[in-house]
Amino acid sequence: MKLQHAYNVAAVLSVASAHTIMQSFNGNPMGDAIYMPSSNMYQSDVNANTLACNGAPATGFRSSSKKITVQAGSTVTGLWLHELGSTDSNPGSDTDNKVIASSHKGPLLAYMKKVSDATQNPSAGPGNGWFKISEVGLISSTQWAVDALISTGGLQSVKIPSCIENGDYLLRFELIALHSASTYPGAQFYVECAQITVTGGTGTANPSTVAIPGSYSGSDPGIKVSIYNSKGSPYPSSYTIPGPPVFTCPSGSGSNPPTSTLPAGGSDGGGAAAPKYGQCGGIGWTGPTTIRDSIEVLKMTLCVNGHDVILSTSLIAKQMGIDIDESCSRASSLTHTGLVTLGTSNLDGTRLQTISEY
């Protein structure tokens, strides 16, 4: 207990101002189809209207009359960086926390809300109508979604469901930092909403929705939680992501499978299985290789086993710009926005992975 308390205090003192803010959406900067608040401050009150899309401060904010057209079924990307107004190439003065402090462990989520006019952001945010399209929490016993976000340079990518109705939506990106969440309020909610117009949707689905604020409670196990284990490490044995389940299109509609979290070292009851994002064995790999949520794993992971390269689909391979030569000796030129750069690698038993939901 004393060790955990010391870890909490150290984390808070060392990164007291190590916040984050979304800088751009699909290459469009803040204030240009994405509401720009006056600071990178977090939300802490789950009952506040500002939990939906941040909120208009007294001064310093900038709204936008622009909307970004997004194709249903496509992947879109937001960029999180620590300081207001920083860019990927110029992250600001605090380069040690370019994205967010590494102590700020927690999940990444994304929601959508159908609105009559997306430019009425953030005022159109509070209330019912929100459905979750993505969530990633505790990936393994040594990695949170925020850890993966930092490794990508702050890129959070999500897929727009193909089966939803065309029209204006608010797309809500959310990062929850849990380093001080053992009491409420303690969890830090970083939220930003992009103003989008969806085209090409089939309109065959009517997602169940929740209210924001309203879908979270201060006593939820994913909000009021100590993430520190008995050794003081911020990687618990399991974690429950707050909010409703991820919406998925009906079978046959061709949309995205859910993005979910698994307890570190857990099992689905089908025998031994490797943690998500680590479920492909290479040469000499002796661990479990059972595939959990196989559709998701195929979608989110590039697995290399000797000379056999397993890709989710040839289309995804092309979208990622992966060039694999005839001898299968290297993988390079991974240029798709939001994906982890693989670079040149010896594929002799190496397991290469990339996460398309970040």
Domains of the chain by residue range:
2-212, 267-358
Between 29 and 100, the more confident residue is: 100
Asked whether the predicted pLDDT for residue 268 surpasses 70, the reply is no
Asked whether the predicted pLDDT for residue 323 surpasses 80, the reply is no
Between 72 and 299, the more confident residue is: 72
- Residue 15 confidence (pLDDT): 42
Reply yes or no on whether 179 is catalytic: yes
Backbone angles phi, psi at 108, to 5 degrees: -120, 135
24-53 average pLDDT score: 86
204-211 average pLDDT score: 97
Asked whether the predicted pLDDT for residue 340 surpasses 70, the reply is no
Q: Residue 75: which pLDDT band, with cuts at 50, 70 and 90? A: very high
Q: Residue 32: which pLDDT band, with cuts at 50, 70 and 90? A: confident
Strand partners, 101: none
5-14, 29-38, 217-226, 299-308: which range is least confident on average?
299-308
**Contact assessment for residue 114 and residue 165, using Cβ atoms and an 8 Å cutoff:** yes
**Contact assessment for residue 239 and residue 141, using Cβ atoms and an 8 Å cutoff:** no
242-251: pLDDT as tens digits: 999 999 999 8
CATH of 2-212, one of 1.10.150.20, 3.40.50.300, 2.40.50.140, 2.70.50.70: 2.70.50.70
101-105, 118-122, 324-328: which range is least confident on average?
324-328
Between 344 and 204, the more confident residue is: 204
Q: Residue 192: which pLDDT band, with cuts at 50, 70 and 90? A: very high
297-307: pLDDT as tens digits: 333 333 333 32
Structure tokens at 299: 């979608």
Return d(Cα 209, Cα 161) in angstroms, integer: 14
Task: Name, of 56-65, 234-243, 258-267, 313-322, the range with top average pLDDT.
Answer: 234-243
- Residue 272 confidence (pLDDT): 36
Return d(Cα 212, Cα 209) in angstroms, integer: 10
Cα–Cα distances (Å) from 75 to 83, 147, 305, in that order, read 25, 21, 27
Where are any strands of DSSP class E within the chain?
21-25, 28-29, 68-71, 75-81, 108-114, 127-136, 138-140, 143-144, 155-159, 167-177, 188-199, 210-212, 303-305, 308-310, 323-324, 331-332
Asked whether the predicted pLDDT for residue 296 surpasses 50, the reply is no
34-43, 80-89, 197-206, 292-301: which range is least confident on average?
292-301
Q: Please state the pTM of the whole predicted model.
A: 0.69
Check 19, 82, 104, 179 and give the catalytic one: 179
Asked whether the predicted pLDDT for residue 328 surpasses 70, the reply is no
Count Cβ atoms within 10 A of the Cβ of residue 96 and give its class: 0-12 exposed, 13-18 middle, 19 or more buried. exposed
- Residue 42 confidence (pLDDT): 93
**Contact assessment for residue 279 and residue 273, using Cβ atoms and an 8 Å cutoff:** yes
